[in-house]
Amino acid sequence: MRFVLAALRPACAALALGAACAPAAAAPECIVPAKPGGGFDLTCKLAQRALLEAGLTEQPMRLVHMPGGIGAVAYNSMVAQRPAEPDTIVAFSGGSLLALAEGKFGKYGPADVRWVGALGVDYGMIAVRADSPYRNLKDLVTALGSDPDQVLFGAGGTIGNQDWIKAALLARQAGVGYKRMRFVGFEGGGEAFTALAAGHVQAVSGDASEAALQLGTGGIRILAVLAEQRLPGRLAGVPTAREQGYDITWPIVRGFYMGPKVPQADYQRWASRFERLQASPAFARLRAEQGLFPTALGGAALDAYVKSTVQRYGALAKEFGLVR
């Protein structure tokens, strides 16, 4: 009998005082809408670590991988089967918003979930080899305009994804239609940079965080970042496309959404957590380690941003013949 009481005591010490034992709270859950590895996985892992270290969650979030349809399976699951879970968040990125705009999430749209918070933002960029004759963005645009065949873009993904659209936007500045633009897709940004180094492609459209990792090799020149203003850190010396006369921006927000029927109090609790993270110097260091930049988006501001961005992406998708 002593053995049984001793075993029970740590889990339910309150019984000695005649009180009922409260069940242990379940760990919050972060759904990764993809297989392990990749940006969605890193987004959930960054939130998992940051929230725990900041004392904003009592235990680490559980990561649950739910791949399928570039996020469509997770999106449909949260709307149709799990709409009111108060401690489940799902990772999204700018690519998710493009997929929504292109109708890849089925019948559901951006108003069918609750956009709760963002961890940070990355930006698009255009890069060439370090020994390329294209010294700036104007050189590349001029070359495209004179002969589109001399510039082959490489990027991770396929026609219609955000890296393809970045290249198509630049080609449009040169007066070159998207059907005339030359583009080859690779399994990821790493493969695209490998092809650039080997001279198989003349330019890469990708993300600033990926390009920053390549700077140490000395093999590339970043012609422009697609941000509203110059980025801090290692890319501070790289001009924006706007500075060079081309009005192209491409922010890539990384954040989270929740089910559409989550109670307001629980939604606000999570929105407050992400707001507090953004104000933390410790989180700023973690964010920078992942190649992300600060963002003030969260709660209602994030919701408004998502809806306006999906609308803008939808217009671009129509212009480029990706949707009817």
C-alpha to C-alpha distances, 144 to 117, 127, 175, 176, 221, nearest whole angstrom: 39, 14, 8, 7, 18
Domain ranges of the chain: 29-121+251-319, 123-244
Closest by CA to 89, choosing from 134, 57, 44, is 44
Amino acid 299: pLDDT: 93
Residue-wise pLDDT tens digits, 106-156: 999 999 999 999 999 999 999 999 999 999 999 999 999 999 999 999 998
Amino acid 190: pLDDT: 82
256 by DSSP, 3-state: which? strand
pTM (predicted TM-score): 0.84
- How do the pLDDT tens digits run along the chain, 324 residues long? 333 333 333 444 443 444 445 455 689 999 999 988 778 888 999 999 999 999 999 999 999 999 988 899 999 999 999 999 999 999 999 999 999 999 999 999 999 999 999 999 999 999 999 999 999 999 999 999 999 999 999 998 888 899 999 999 999 999 999 999 999 998 778 888 999 999 999 999 999 988 888 887 778 999 999 999 999 888 999 999 999 999 999 999 999 999 999 999 999 999 999 999 999 999 999 999 888 999 989 999 999 999 999 999 999 999 999 988
Cα separation, 110 vs 311, whole angstroms: 10
Q: Contact 7/24 with Cβ under 8 angstroms?
A: no
What is the sign, positive or negative, of the torsion defined by CA atoms of 97, 95, 152, 233? Answer: positive
Closest by CA to 249, choosing from 316, 154, 159, 151, is 316
DSSP assignment of 192-209 equals: HHHHHHTTS-SEEEEEHH
The CATH number, out of the four listed (3.30.470.20, 3.40.1390.10, 1.20.1260.10, 3.40.190.150), of the domain defined by the range 29-121+251-319: 3.40.190.150
Amino acid 24: pLDDT: 56
Amino acid 70: pLDDT: 80
CATH superfamily of 123-244: Periplasmic binding protein-like II (3.40.190.10)
Amino acid 25: pLDDT: 66
First to last CA, the chain: 74
Between strands 62-65 and 88-92, the pairing is unpaired
Amino acid 212: pLDDT: 85
Which residues share a beta bridge with 156?
Answer: 186
